Amino acid sequence: MENTTLKSIAEHYETPVYVYDGDKIQKQYHRLKNAFKDVEKLRINYACKALSNISILSLIRSYGSGLDTVSIQEVQLGIKSGFKPKEIIFTPNGVSLEEIEKVAEIGVQINIDNLSTLEQFGTKYPNVPVCIRINPHVMAGGNSNISVGHIDSKFGISIHQIPHILRIVENTKMQINGVHMHTGSDILDIDVFLYAAEILFNTALKFENLEFLDFGSGFKVPYRSGDIETNIEELGEKLSERFNRFCETYGKHLELVFEPGKFLVSEAGYFLTKVNSVKQTTSTVFAQVNSGFNHLIRPMFYGSHHEIINISNSKGKQRFYTVVGYICETDTFGSNRKINEISEGDFLAFKNAGAYCFSMSSNYNSRYRPAEILWHNKQAHLIRNKETFEELIQNQILIGFKKTVATD
């Protein structure tokens, strides 16, 4: 998206505001699909926890995508946006058996990552097909918050517990129709991912009636100019060849499934803010914007990098700024960043704001969550209104207390 377009949206809809480039989402979807064109059965299930606005879900559904969900509320959002239950997989962690049962009643594919839950569910519903999430004990990259395949992870059933899984399946006579893994985000080493895939293949051979293998996702996207990313084309070539050979060994063509979230929407997103003030201290020049970690927490929570550009002064001389928010906490978006000269009233755009940005926002400091805009077919479409004070307090209940004055 052009800076002039972003600036126009910022002026029209007010800031802070999230903007998503629909063309970029579509490009990423087809890039992944084309990388695995040699696989007979391919399914992409968008991991909607990354960005769950129902218009975004509807857009991605129009490309032929399925949906990966982690809560019953995400399942309901998917159905609201047009997905059929059979197009949705439910991959929760640590939820109650009751929630899994409610999702199963809807007709959604269940994915279980806990031995206890597997046995309870299989005992009560032996005829409901279930996918099993394994933990391959393979680190995919990134820090411990986003690499979920390590041995101490709370996600998945350890590969060392496969005998326990087989015992439960035999005792309950439950149906296992899929095996799943997810090693975490920011995958760079294709060979490491392929090593984890071999573990998935070996596990799959222990089950006779599988329909699909789910390889998760976690593909890295570039966060700055010249940044490295997952080579999707190389992965597609190597994994497709190995998957096809596995299907020959297994005796039928299974469906190869991925569940990308960040890969589809991260680069499509821009977060637009306005500079409230420029503050010079003894050692730092602060650009203070009309937002904070209530709207974009990833830099403070994960230490993630979001490139910051001045869309009001795209040709200006560059200076060093520390960009901070208006929250009554330390909410630093970027320290000593080289940005085109900033003046009060300028609009700044944060890149890579499509994944885990609005979806992790809050009302901290009683601030309103911002509007969301979808840029599609060269038009800006409002897909979420900015919150109002009435919406902020709509679920609060006021109890009136009489003022009392202490007396001697």
Calculate the alpha carbon distances from 243 to 181, 219, 352 in Å.
15, 18, 32
* C-alpha Rg value of the chain to the nearest Å: 24
Give residue limits of the domains in the chain.
36-260
What phi, psi does 325 have (nearest 5°)?
Answer: -105, -170
Q: Write down the CATH number for the domain with range 36-260.
A: 3.20.20.10
pTM: 0.94
Which whole number is the average pLDDT over 143-172? 79
Among 48, 131, 247, 328, the active-site one is: 328
- Report the mean per-residue pLDDT for the chain: 94
Distance, CA of 185 to CA of 145 (rounded, Å):
9
What angle in degrees, to the nearest 10, is found between the helix axes of 115-124 and 162-172?
10
Least confident of 24-28, 149-153, 187-191, 217-221: 149-153
The verdict on whether 328 is a catalytic residue reads yes
What angle in degrees, to the nearest 10, is found between the helix axes of 190-204 and 232-250?
20
pLDDT in tens, 209-235: 999 999 999 899 999 888 889 999 999
Cβ(258)–Cβ(44) below 8 Å: yes
pLDDT level of residue 307 (50, 70, 90 thresholds): very high
pLDDT in tens, 370-382: 999 999 999 999 9
What phi, psi does 148 have (nearest 5°)?
Answer: -105, 10
